[in-house]
Structure 1
Amino acid sequence: MQNISSFQQVLEIVEALPLEEQAVLVNIIQQRLRQQRREALLERVAESEQAYSADQVHRGSVVDLMRELDD
């Protein structure tokens, strides 16, 4: 069993659980993933707000963007 990856070991352990416990585990993992995504989004929002406050954000239309890229 030493040659089996830790991920594979986890899968085998989970598969050995009763179905009810597997469902609870899936629910817990989904909640934690949602929370991690939420936290990552909040970090990106904070970074964007800082960039906006520091006047590091450009605003304009697609035409403005294309004009700037051509220059």
Structure 2
Amino acid sequence: MSKTTQTSQFQQALEAVEVLSLEDQAMLLDILQNRLRQQRRNELLKEVAEVRQEYAEGNVKFCSAADFMAELDDSEEKVHG
């Protein structure tokens, strides 16, 4: 889907919401916020399951925060040369 099509659909959605009463707009906002919270929760649960799987497979390396930061710095240097 092109950026123009996405913008057009978004604009149409906004215009559709604007014709709703304030009460309906508030109800729609509550519904959307609840759906976003649930989607974020589902994403977090998926990530936790992936990490647990990696841990169970022995793919997790434990280290101190300082060691982790040093490893990140080393990785960044390798990427950016």
Classify the TM-score, shorter chain: 0.7 to 0.9
C-alpha distance in structure 2 between counterparts of 1:22 and 1:54, whole Å: 48
Larger Rg: 1 or 2? 1
TM-score, normalisation: structure 2: 0.73
SS in structure 2 of the partner of residue 5 of structure 1? helix
One-letter amino acid of the counterpart of residue 13, structure 1: A
In structure 2, C-alpha distance between the alignment counterparts of 1:17 and 1:64, rounded to whole Å: 55
The root-mean-square deviation of aligned C-alpha atoms, in Å, is 2.1
CA distance in 2, matches of 1:18, 1:63: 54
Give the counterpart of 2:54 among 45, 51, 56: 51
Larger relative contact order (C-alpha < 8 A, sep ≥ 6)? 1
Shift of the 5–60 alpha-carbon distance from structure 1 to 2, 3 Å rule, reads same
Unaligned 5+ segments in structure 1 are none
More helix by share: 2
CA distance in 2, matches of 1:32, 1:21: 16
- Judged with a 3 Å threshold, the aligned counterparts in structure 2 of structure 1 residues 60 and 9 are, in CA distance, closer, same or farther, namely same
| Pair 1:9-2:12 in alignment | yes
The residue identity in structure 2 corresponding to 1:37 is: R
Amino acid at match of 1:12: E
Q: Which runs of 4+ in 1 moved over 3 A?
A: 62-67
Matched, 1:22 2:38: no
| d(CA) in 2 for partners of 1:63, 1:20 | 52
Percent identity of paired positions between Structure 1 and Structure 2: 50
What TM-score, normalized to structure 1? 0.82
